[in-house]
Amino acid sequence: MKEMTTRFYNAKILTMSDDGDPFDGELWTEGARIAFVGTADEAERKKRESALQDGIRFADEIDCEGNLLMPGFKNAHTHSAMTLLRSRADDLPLDQWLNEQIFPVEARLTEEDIYHLTKLAFLEYLTSGITACFDMYLTPRSIARAASDAGFRMVQVGAVNNFSQSPELVEEMYRELNGKDAYNSYVIGFHAEYTCSRELLEKIAALADRLKAPVFTHISETKGEVAGCKERYGMTPVAFLDSLGMFAHGGGGYHLVHVTDEDIRILKDRGMFVVTNPGSNTKLASGIAPISKYLAAGVPVAIGTDGPASNNALDMFREMFLVTGLAKLKDDSASSVDASEVLKMATVNGARAMGLNDCDVLAEGKKADLILIDLHAPNMQPVNNIRKNLVYSGSKSNVKLTMIEGKVKYRDGSFFIGGSPDDIYAKATEIKERIDREMAGA
């Protein structure tokens, strides 16, 4: 008898593999992967065919009760362990926020602190239907351990700057974490042009070229950043980094708010991704990214929450609404940046930006990274257009179940990550109180 892991039935299914409407059907998993996805009639035929052999047995069967199965959201830019700094340093401009509030606290964090604070972020990701994150932070090994222990899909990116990490560490982590286990992978990166010397940037570009690997970084987040780069090098950040050969093998930029037409041409020519962070950019008054221009130029856009210190919520529903809402304001057009395109940014494009090409859509052979959305809640009724409902009226409260690598990690308010939420909250509070004492005595 064929052993399957989970059968989801009586579901509406949005595969995101095309622009088609959701259909009534079933999805089966076998271990970490999707073994079948199709209509209810196709499922019955497959079961009949199997019965002619040995039949199928499921370890678990979940009645979706007419609710929506779809790929999980991919948080394509975040700093997970900054959960410690949520609502601690708000209502300040970016440079003051970073230099006077964020950096002094971060200097006191240990690897073990970051392990626990990252797990706190996982809880919030799961409630938002996020099945993977693209994380840039300080201690890659302890972050990878948190991902392995919790069973959360984590892609890390190098955070090299003049004060921490190094090209040598990035190469070491690239070789160590890629293939470490099912949950961890690693991408070359650095913090930003303005926090790295030219020599350091040249070393990163050389490393990327030697490994034939993409590079990701913060780029053109604020007007001040762009002006500073022009003063130093006579070019925009995009043009300067490109002049170093930084993106010869692709990659992408986080934020990309203040760009020129030439910058957009470079992004297109280099096959780069834009990862937009509208919640953070709004809260820090950094500006509105030109999303419609990127789409018109054929530059793929993904979505990230940024860290919980600058947002302060790790909520993909809020980000999706802001992507399209702010674009409409910027373009003075209510038709700008269609909600269906935004949903693709939050799922398919995010997965591909992160190198998770087997986690992008629901299809046989793909990873079983998926979510179940409650369609019976008032904010989802009546169902005129599910894609637009998700973007314009969807909420974290609609997430009923989050599955990663074929394992249910969150369901109806309960978490399954190898530890209780109360213990994680208590540890975060303990870290906060210790750092408060250290700051007071400094």
Q: Is 429 exposed, middle or buried (0-12, 13-18, 19+ CB in 10 A)?
A: exposed
The two structure tokens encoding residue 325: 């809402």
Which residue range forms the structural domain that includes residue 256? 71-353
Last residue of a domain, one of 301, 328, 353: 353
> Could you tell me which residues are beta bridge partners of residue 153?
132
At 53 the pLDDT is: 61
What pLDDT does residue 1 have?
62
* DSSP states of 172-194: HHHHHHTTSSTTEEEEEEEEEGG
DSSP 8-state symbol, 72? P
What pLDDT does 441 receive?
A: 82
Q: What is the count of structural domains for the chain?
A: 2
Residues 258 and 378 in one domain: no
Look at residue 4 in the predicted model and tell me its pLDDT: 79
Does 291 share its domain with 146? Answer: yes
Indicate the residue among 353, 375, 401 that finishes a domain: 353
Q: Is 151 left (phi over 0), alpha (psi -120 to 50) or beta?
A: left
Specify the pLDDT at position 442.
Answer: 65
Classify residue 442: in a domain, yes or no: no
Q: Could you tell me which of 57, 48, 59 has the C-alpha nearest to residue 1?
A: 57
In a domain, 394, yes or no: yes
Judge whether 432 lies within some domain: no
Does 150 share its domain with 296? Answer: yes
Q: Are residues 332 and 229 in the same domain?
A: yes
96 plus 196 within the same structural domain: yes
CATH value at residue 401: 2.30.40.10
Concatenate the DSSP letters of all residues of 140-172 into one string: HHHHHHHHHHHT-EEEEE--B-SSS--HHHHHH
Report pLDDT for 52. 57
Distance spanning both ends of the chain, measured CA to CA: 66
Q: Is residue 422 part of a domain?
A: no
In a domain, 420, yes or no: no
User: Within a domain: residue 154?
Assistant: yes
Residues 94 and 12 in one domain: no
Q: What pLDDT was estimated at residue 386?
A: 97
Is residue 343 within 8 A of residue 391, CB to CB? The reply is yes
- My answer on whether 298 and 346 are in the same domain is yes
Q: Is residue 218 located within the same domain as residue 287?
A: yes
Residues 149 and 253 in one domain: yes
Give the CATH number of the domain where residue 296 resides: 3.20.20.140
Q: What is the pLDDT of residue 101?
A: 85
What is the predicted pLDDT for the residue at 19? 86
- Cis check for the bond before 312: say yes or no (omega within 30 of 0): yes
In a domain, 377, yes or no: yes
Last-in-domain residue among 338, 353, 368: 353
Please list the rounded mean pLDDT of every run of 10 residues in the chain (442 residues): 88 95 96 97 90 80 98 98 93 80 91 98 98 98 98 98 96 97 98 97 98 98 97 98 98 98 98 98 95 98 96 97 98 98 98 98 98 98 96 98 98 97 98 93 74
Same domain, 14 and 98: no
Shared domain for 337 and 371, answered yes or no, is no
| 236-285 pLDDT per residue, tens | 999 999 999 999 999 999 999 999 999 999 999 999 999 999 999 999 99
pLDDT at 246: 98
Q: How far is CA 422 from CA 120, 224, 414, in A?
A: 10, 41, 12
Q: Residue 304: CA atoms inside 13 Å, Cβ hemisphere, count?
A: 32
Domain membership flag for residue 206: yes
Residue 260's Cβ-side half-sphere holds a number of Cα atoms within 13 Å equal to 12
Same domain, 79 and 214: yes
CB contact at 8 A, 173 and 166: no
pLDDT at 191: 97
